[in-house]
Amino acid sequence: MQACKCEHCGHAFRARPRGRHRILCGNSANAADVARLMAGELASLVFTSPPYAQQRDYGEAAKEQVQDWLAMMCGVFAHLPVVKNGQVLVNLGLVHRDGEWIPYWDPWIEWMRTEGWRRFGWYVWDQGSGLPGDWSGRLGPSHEFVFHFNKEARKPNHWVEKLEASVRVKSAADQGLRGRDGTIKPVTNPEAFGQTHKIPASVVRVTRQQGPVLHGSESHPAAFSVAFAGFFRRTWLSAGEIHYDPYLGSATSVIAGHLGGVRVLGIEMEPKFVDLALARAEAQGLTVERETDA
């Protein structure tokens, strides 16, 4: 292990030899930081969960950035190191002010469109049972959103197991879909019948992270579950491809990617969370490099 200091913040850490996954302590809105992390490689998937509003304490390094949410998002998503058919999926939750929910994402989404990113999909994350407590007259929150952008479509992987009844080959009379006039139309892809797996649905039913993600006295305030990151990795990536996470947090994406045989390259600007990410990866037996110029 080599003793180093981060050029971004001066934080001391120990660097590992180069591994499959890489973590940079830096700013994902800085093109030079992104280029340094990627080292000429491109990702096929961007799945990330940025801070939304000021509802959590993301550390000293992120305070100023989170205050101007639109500028933060535009800065980060202006430097996406992706292939031509790269898929970009962003997890955001609701924000309430003055008795209303706020569509704070609208200006950013319109900016994404000016950059050529299509509003390709909009999904719901079903997190399981609602949180306890009195939510000012609202129902207990149990969902968030995932916004899907791309410039070119890529077919999702068929990995969700079908029910037995839907696998059986049907008769010619009932194997098609119902048309607008109510009649059954012939199937356009008959070889799909009999397949044991299908693409996932637009409601992602994955339980939220249970309990804190800890390293000593440090914890991350908004870690998502490994299964949630794994859902998108299984849906849009194949073994050996790259997942880029510009808001790496506690390295949940790294763990999910490693379990699925894909590489994860991510940036986190808060040093204590980078320490947490490395410790968490180490506990899983992963070899992760923390980038440094030292």
- The larger pLDDT score, comparing residue 237 to residue 194, is at 237
Q: Looking at residue 179, what is its pLDDT?
A: 74
Share of the chain above pLDDT 70, in %: 71
In sequence order, the β-bridge partners of residue 218 are: 215
DSSP 8-state secondary structure symbol assigned to residue 184: B
For the chain, what is the mean pLDDT?
A: 81
Lowest mean pLDDT of 26-30, 77-81, 219-223, name the range.
219-223
CA dist., res. 31 & res. 50, Å (int):
18
CA dist., res. 275 & res. 281, Å (int):
10
pLDDT-derived band at 57 (thresholds 50, 70, 90) equals very low
Residue 8 has pLDDT above 60, yes or no: no
DSSP 8-state secondary structure symbol assigned to residue 192: G
Lowest mean pLDDT of 135-139, 281-285, 288-292, name the range.
288-292
The three-state DSSP-derived secondary structure of 270-294 is: CHHHHHHHHHHHHHCCCCEEECCCC
Residue 52 has pLDDT above 70, yes or no: yes
In the chain, where the domains are located: 1-38, 88-131+141-163+188-210+227-252
CA distances to 22, 84, 112, 221 from 152, rounded to whole Å, are: 27, 7, 14, 34
Q: In sequence order, which ranges of 168-265 are alpha helices (DSSP H)? A: 226-236, 252-259
